[in-house]
Structure 1
Amino acid sequence: MRRRTVLKVLGLGLGGATVLGGGGLGAYYLTARQDTVGKIAFDAALPIPPLATSETGASGARVFALDVRAGETRFKDGPATRTWGVNGTHLGPTIRARRGDRVEFAVRNGLDQETSLHWHGMHLPAAMDGGPHQTVPAGGTWEPRWTIDQPAATLWYHPHVHGATADHLYRGLTGLFIVDDEVTEALDLPSEYGVDDVPMIVQDRAFDGDNQFEQRVPLGGSLGVIGDEILVNGAIGPYFDVTTRLVRLRLLNGSNARLYNFGFSDDRRFSLVATDGGLLAEPWETDRLSLSPGERAEVVVAFTPGERVELRSYPSEHGGALGRLDGFDDRLDVCQFRAAGSLSDDSALPAVLGTAPDLAGAAVARERSFVLASDQINGRSMAMDRIDFGVREGTVEVWEVTNDNGFPHNFHVHDVRFQVLSVDGGTPEPPLCGWKDTVLLVQGKRYRLAMRFSDHTDPNVPYMYHCHLLQHEDEGMMGQFVVLGDGEEVGVVPKEHQHS
């Protein structure tokens, strides 16, 4: 019996707080809140993932070698932790390429089981997507290739093995994929990688008594694994030495299930400049920013000489009746920023950044509805051999998506960026006004998402749409679609997908 079905049987759904009010379970609920403010030593310099190197292939493409391997990583005093990584023992290098680059990868699987690398947020052919149909067998090599053709954005890569994505990501297979373009490079935003343009992969982990990762699901929790330690780029309690007045943070919620509500310890305001799919039309100033698993954001923060301030995750309002069990009431110190006595001031925050999404007035070829509930989408669990529908290349569709079972979910679509047209018929909040590929679904609200399908067609090899809370995805909250060219009809998923 699946976890959320069990919770319903126990009476721990929307009205579950009443049941939790008595006995030992009620006491557990009352104490199920973490607060690490003032308890973190901040004694480790923030690691900066290295930039992946590439060679020029015979075709002129940039060729990257990515070796997936098992190893050990020391996160704290005592035994090292068994981990997986890409070109290392934990996490992976940051891949960086420009729009127009032809890229090729040799993904070598050095594990003792199959895995995959999915390019989350990338517009590319379905056969190169790295989803559940492009797994790499133990000892095997996968060689995807494509031309990058999308605006600058902070993307990422991670495993996408059906039924095992949560496990593989938790072990450490995560990295950033930064796309650059002329538009962004012409702006005076902070741009020196690791200096004033800082990657921050934020993940939670639980450790057992021997310092091994423990996939701990809270009693009564509905999201999956929730850890009590926060890692940033693989470090617990890191600090970052600030040398410039403005710093651009590329935030990734790389957790399996935890939602973060980012803000600073002094409640200073900062500027959101980009979301999943790239730059906003103009900066949005705020003091809090929520990211659900899979979402990214680029923010610009101003510092003054000599100060120290912490990035925190504050309690969130979106957890529902039992949100406390899944960490929604937690207050967590994430990273400390230590400003030098004098700061350089070579960058600026432009008043105009990019171009706003433009699909609100587009002709709509088809509208579809998706309801997420009980580990299913529209009453169906994921089936590897079933293509749920086809979309026509060159058209715009509007998908109305609703979370309808009282537990938190979010929604990610492969290959495309989407525009959030409305939330419950109203104008989306500013963080949802840029291009997105992943969006938190607040219980009961209707999200209308517009997306254009372009360039890559294949009637047989599908893309995914799914909840990016990984336990939900692994348990079946996922579906498949194909993009069709003129005259093509939905085909049949190959029994064995070719990797080259």
Structure 2
Amino acid sequence: MKRVLLVSVATALALCCGGGAVAAAVAWSRAGLDTAGQVDFRNPLKVPPLAQSRIDGQGRRVFDLRAQQGRTDLGPGQPTRTWGFNGDHLGPTLRAKRGEQVLVNVANGLPEPTSVHWHGMHLPARMDGGPHQEVRPGATWSPTWTVDQPAATLWYHPHPHGQTARHVQRGLAGMFILDDENSAKLPHEYGIDDIPVIVQDHEFDGGGQIKDSGDTGDTVLVNGTVAPYLDVRTERVRLRLLNASAARTYSFGLSDGRSFTLVGTDGGLLPAPHDMGRIRLSPGERAEIVVAMKPDKRVTLRSFPASLDNPVSDRFAGGRDTLDVLQLRTESDLARSAEVPATLAPIERLDPADAVTTREFTLSGRQINGRKMDMGRIDAVVTKDTTEIWEITKEDGTPHSFHVHDVQFQVLSVGGEPPPAELSGWKDTVLLAPDQTVRVIARFADYADPDVPYMYHCHVLKHEDAGMMGQFVVVEPGQKPGRPDTHGHHKSHG
């Protein structure tokens, strides 16, 4: 690895003028980590197992997850204390089809409360797994719902109030894949040509333990594997990219400059594929890409510098870093793969004329609209089966990615301009640029509960933990909002 320190003219001037402290801060803000060509890719990529399931007497597909402590080799030279679901680190991949009713038994084997939020899932608020549904040590929570949304790459992770970054960084995360008839048009043999790519970065202390700072780290892991390689045996491989890092934004591309085909984003497949050279993913975002391979080749999935439009945020969110992430290897013989179809999945466009209201959200510091999170306060009341436009603006120099629970939204504009291809499909998380409003539209259908809120928040996890989060309830027409149970988050809901 090599660190490249970029010193600006401003830094030099500050030094000349005696502004040593200011100069040091500026220099640090402009430091970049560069591991291109430096990673030895010595470890085969771990592919999380598919979670076992069973069909119960009510026809529900039942999964069992247990949060537990463990020890894992994450690369610092000695075992690291980690947390995981059904194992030492991370969790199995849950997979279900559209139309299935699922039930997940979440047992907490940790010495403190945790929770499991189904990120990107459309479901009742009581099943969402937010901070109001924490599970006590030794207890089990058993949410159940019907999968009623298109095929997509979703994920699950804890959401305890004020502790989310620590729980996720220790390893509590996994993928939740939804299937339908459109998804089967693409590579879909799990672990063969359909690969989960859960990307996280860590910083370790001198004892080989994960620092709980919630900041960017200098060690990148994929599916918990350091320096990973993947043996690809097919002409095309579908990579399900998930930015599960606490703070880092990545700009993924391939080291030899070849393009890849973007086929899906947070909430599902796009109407048509898009050939691209780079895709930027902030914390919580996902993308499905298809990479065409040739025999006897090696190419690296790399994160290139992802400018975040501010020198300080560039440094502390990794905007200046170049990171080798995963090596793709092929042998002389590759199994045939069908070409990516010209059409993927229909998307019904939401009409802004149908919106019953437009809400404004301003993110600054660790607050949304000038207020920090309050578990007992409802910040917005939405009427069921209505469409709303949300206008989200970032007013500080810190990176923020905005995530909304329950719904998938469509991006109407970014800074007044039409959204690019990677924001043209269903989304639940979006990166915000400074002083640039992102307008999104969503329909809040199917579920109403005046007493149990959904969340909206920054998905830079330490920002969320520090209070950059709000709550909304969905109510029936004419119904008044209730009062959230601020003590319920310490109980089991099984």
TM range (shorter): over 0.9
Report how many aligned residue pairs link the two structures: 477
Alignment of 1:82-481 (within 5 A): 82-185=81-184, 187=185, 189-216=186-213, 224-322=214-312, 323-481=314-472
Task: Name the aligned partner's letter for residue 382 of structure 2.
Answer: V
Q: CA deviation at 1:325?
A: 3.7
Larger displacement relative to structure 2 (51-60 or 199-208): 51-60
1:360-419 CA distance string (max 9 Å, x none): 355111110000011111011100000112101111000000001121111000000000
Task: Name the aligned partner's letter for residue 112 of structure 2.
Answer: Q
Supply the distance in 2 between the matched residues of 1:244 and 1:429 (Cα, whole angstroms): 30
Q: Residues 262 and 314 of structure 1 are in contact (CA less than 8 Å); yes or no, is this contact kept in structure 2?
A: yes
Q: Residues 357 and 435 of structure 1 are in contact (CA less than 8 Å); yes or no, is this contact kept in structure 2?
A: no
Supply the distance in 2 between the matched residues of 1:361 and 1:381 (Cα, whole angstroms): 29
Q: Residues 360 and 421 of structure 1 are in contact (CA less than 8 Å); yes or no, is this contact kept in structure 2?
A: no
Q: Residues 405 and 456 of structure 2 are in contact (CA less than 8 Å); yes or no, is this contact kept in structure 1?
A: yes
Q: Residues 30 and 311 of structure 2 are in contact (CA less than 8 Å); yes or no, is this contact kept in structure 1?
A: no
1:287-331 CA distance string (max 9 Å, x none): 111000000000011011000011100001214121124321111
Supply the distance in 2 between the matched residues of 1:411 and 1:401 (Cα, whole angstroms): 8
Return closer, same or farther for 1:360/1:423 CA change in 2, 3 Å cut-off: farther
- Say which SS state the counterpart of residue 241 (structure 1) adopts: strand
Supply the distance in 2 between the matched residues of 1:78 and 1:380 (Cα, whole angstroms): 43
Aligned to 1:60: 59
Q: CA deviation at 1:346?
A: 2.8
Task: Name the aligned partner's letter for residue 85 of structure 1.
Answer: G
Of 462, 467, 489, the residue aligned with 2:480 is 489
1:211-252 CA distance string (max 9 Å, x none): 111235xxxxxxx41110000000011000011111100000
Supply the distance in 2 between the matched residues of 1:385 and 1:52 (Cα, whole angstroms): 35
Q: Residues 29 and 311 of structure 2 are in contact (CA less than 8 Å); yes or no, is this contact kept in structure 1?
A: no
Return closer, same or farther for 1:61/1:20 CA change in 2, 3 Å cut-off: farther
Q: Residues 119 and 154 of structure 2 are in contact (CA less than 8 Å); yes or no, is this contact kept in structure 1?
A: yes
Supply the distance in 2 between the matched residues of 1:117 and 1:338 (Cα, whole angstroms): 35
Percent sequence identity is 54
Q: CA deviation at 1:425?
A: 1.7
Task: Name the aligned partner's letter for residue 114 of structure 1.
Answer: P
- Say which SS state the counterpart of residue 104 (structure 1) adopts: strand
Q: Residues 411 and 441 of structure 1 are in contact (CA less than 8 Å); yes or no, is this contact kept in structure 2?
A: yes
Return closer, same or farther for 1:290/1:59 CA change in 2, 3 Å cut-off: same
Q: CA deviation at 1:19?
A: 6.6
Supply the distance in 2 between the matched residues of 1:370 and 1:17 (Cα, whole angstroms): 39
Supply the distance in 2 between the matched residues of 1:117 and 1:237 (Cα, whole angstroms): 28
- Say which SS state the counterpart of residue 33 (structure 2) adopts: coil
Task: Name the aligned partner's letter for residue 287 of structure 2.
Answer: A
Q: CA deviation at 1:356?
A: 3.1
Aligned to 1:219: none
Q: CA deviation at 1:259?
A: 0.3
* TM-score normalised by structure 1 residue count: 0.92
* TM-score normalised by structure 2 residue count: 0.93
Return closer, same or farther for 1:16/1:357 CA change in 2, 3 Å cut-off: farther
Task: Name the aligned partner's letter for residue 299 of structure 2.
Answer: V
Q: Residues 16 and 321 of structure 1 are in contact (CA less than 8 Å); yes or no, is this contact kept in structure 2?
A: no
Return closer, same or farther for 1:111/1:100 CA change in 2, 3 Å cut-off: same
Larger displacement relative to structure 2 (321-330 or 460-469): 321-330
Return closer, same or farther for 1:84/1:377 CA change in 2, 3 Å cut-off: same
Aligned to 1:39: 38
Supply the distance in 2 between the matched residues of 1:292 and 1:331 (Cα, whole angstroms): 15
CA RMSD between the two structures: 1.8
Aligned to 2:5: none
Supply the distance in 2 between the matched residues of 1:48 and 1:468 (Cα, whole angstroms): 25
- Say which SS state the counterpart of residue 458 (structure 1) adopts: coil
Supply the distance in 2 between the matched residues of 1:297 and 1:266 (Cα, whole angstroms): 20
